[in-house]
Amino acid sequence: MAILNILRYPDPRLHKVAKPVAEFDERLQKLVADMAETMYDAPGVGLAATQVDVHERLVVIDVSETHDQLKVFCNPEITWASEEREVYEEGCLSVPGIYDGVERPARVKVRAMDQFGKAFELEADGLLAVCIQHEMDHLMGKVFVEYLSPLKRNRIKTKLLKEERGQQRDGGARAAGGRR
């Protein structure tokens, strides 16, 4: 297993639409294991393949406190969403340190396959429902900050780009013997 690199917003690769998982083979099993390890290490509760620059319809989620209830969704589709909506404070491994309220359906039903190609259906509410919808947005090339106002979105983009430039500068200084 390996820790994968998580793309950071506003990386344009986060806006690619994912293609269906076609083969349930060893490569997919390794990808699922690597994504799970990456998600737990981050730490997070969900990760879409898009976030690790693999543009296939694959999501891993574990909202348990004990990190031992991994759910794998290949080619997920929401078959029903409640009319009732809730605002949930969301964050994202691709948008580190940023949290904001996003309104979504309170309950959803999802149809998907596990990493072995076995079909299943699941009804979810609470954090699991939010997480499923959030990660499925990634598969469609959408990041949660796109639900926010243009002003907030631009502030977030500016902040993250500034942080990235600072990290690159600091990394270069360390490589040059610590001098700036």
- Per-residue pLDDT of the chain in tens (180 residues, 90 and over written 9): 799 999 999 999 999 999 999 999 999 999 999 999 999 999 999 999 999 999 999 999 999 999 999 999 999 999 999 999 999 999 999 999 999 999 999 999 999 999 999 999 999 999 999 999 999 999 999 999 999 999 999 999 999 999 888 887 776 554 444 433
The pLDDT value given to residue 1: 78
Side-chain-side CA neighbours of 44 within 13 Å: the count stands at 26
Strand partners, 78: 110
Q: Name which of 46, 59, 53 is nearest 16 in CA terms.
A: 53
- pLDDT value at position 171? 65
Residue 134 annotated as binding site: yes
What is d(CA 74, CA 27) in angstroms, rounded to the nearest whole number? 14
Per-residue pLDDT, 179: 38
Q: What pLDDT, on the 0 to 100 scale, is given for residue 169?
A: 75
Question: What is the C-alpha to C-alpha distance for residues 76 and 112, in angstroms, rounded to an integer?
Answer: 4
Three-class SS state of 65: coil
- The amino acid at 80: W
Q: Is 92 annotated as a binding residue?
A: yes
Q: Whole-prediction pTM value?
A: 0.91
CB 128 within 8 A of CB 136: no
74 is in an annotated binding site: no
Which pLDDT score, from 0 to 100, does residue 44 have? 96
- Catalytic residue status for 135: yes
Tell me the chain's radius of gyration from C-alpha atoms.
Answer: 17
| pLDDT, position 172 | 53
Catalytic residue among 103, 135, 146, 163: 135
